[in-house]
Amino acid sequence: MSEAPEATGAPPSGVPDAIRVEHIRKRFGAVTALEDVNLRLGQGEVLGLIGDNGAGKSTLVKILTGFHKPDGGTIHVFGEEVQLRSVTHARELGIDTVFQDLALVPGLTVFHNMFLNRELTHGIGPIRFLNNRVMKRRSREYLEDIGVRIPSMDSEVAQLSGGQRQAIAIARSTHSDARIILLDEPLAAMGAREGALIIELIQELKQRSDVSMIVIAHNYVHVLELCDRVNLLRNGRILLDKRTDETSVEELTAIVAAEYRLPKSA
């Protein structure tokens, strides 16, 4: 790997950046989670983030969602340098995260989950009632529009499959005007059929090209299928940055395997 150029993470030229991260560092006590991360996410791009447990993927995502503050380095969102103060602040800038727990409420209907905390109401003055009819209609229209089939908007989320729940969580992000979505292992613990549903949804959203995504994943097949570009994070640095059409599962596997051997031989 010594001949590999330093990975800076560059989207295709001409595409403006949705996110540009430069020299981000983060330590937790004695543990260095992120050493020096440089990463760029182009607008409309889907970037895969791979690396084994402890490589710093979660830390990076939590910094980009405003959950952790970095110790150093800069973050630009849509060209402007920002200090992400909180999850709410990140969301105001258009960055939303679909965590693995999905933040859905199992006992509520699909449309109430779609509008959670952004509920539409009608009424007189301060006396407001939920406008279920409109929320239901808009949820149905939006989900149909992006190709997510849910039998009924009145279904409780508890009754839906893992894939359907994941789809609703992603759809809720895009529906709430998120421009950058961070997906934390959207395909973990999902069957082929379920996974296919999510892959198609992400591809559908990608085609609209107004949403940029960072997808954390372990499965290289999924990464190659889903993403335009892949970054490998290891020991708090981006060690590889490749377009997915210029690499293969074999190459990624070989590189990761080599990386595992490297520290011992070096």
Partner 1 sequence: MAEAAREARQPTPPERAGFGRRVAGALVRRREASIFLVGIGLVLYFSLTTDAFFGKENARVIAEFSAPLMIIAAGQVMLLICGEIDLSVGNVFAFSSWIFYFANTDWGLPIWLAVIAGLISGSIVGLANGLITVIVGVPSFITTLGMIFVLNGITLNISDGFPVETPGGETFFKWFGGSAYSTFYWALGVIVLMAILLGRTRWGLHTIATGGNFVGASESGVNVRAVKIGNFVICSTLGALAGMIEATRITSIQPLQGGTQVMFYAVAAAVIGGTSLFGGSGTIIGAALGVVVLAILNLGFIIKGVSAFTFDLVLGSAIIISMALNVTLERFRQSGWLARVS
Give bridge partners of residue 72 from the DSSP assignment: 25
* Residue closer to partner 1, measured from CB, 220 or 234: 220
* Residue closer to partner 1, measured from CB, 73 or 94: 94
* Residue closer to partner 1, measured from CB, 7 or 199: 199
CB count, 10 Å around CB of 22?
Answer: 17
- Least gap, CB of 47 to partner 1 (angstroms): 21
- Least gap, CB of 202 to partner 1 (angstroms): 11
Contact 189, 162 (CB under 8 A): yes
Binding residues for partner 1, rule: CB under 8 A, are 87-88, 91, 99, 101-108, 112, 116-117, 119, 121, 128-130, 147-149, 151-152, 155-156, 158-161, 163, 192-194, 196-197, 199-200, 225
- Least gap, CB of 201 to partner 1 (angstroms): 9
**In Å, what is the CA distance from 45 to each residue of 37, 41, 160, 206, 215?**
19, 6, 29, 7, 11
Put the strands of the sheet holding 80-82 in their side by side order: 31-42, 17-28, 72-77, 80-82
**What would the two tokens of residue 217 be?**
């994943």
* Residue closer to partner 1, measured from CB, 193 or 264: 193
C-alpha 83: how far from chain center: 19
- Least gap, CB of 203 to partner 1 (angstroms): 9
Q: How far apart are CA 139 and CA 163, in angstroms?
A: 17
- Least gap, CB of 133 to partner 1 (angstroms): 12
* Residue closer to partner 1, measured from CB, 40 or 62: 62
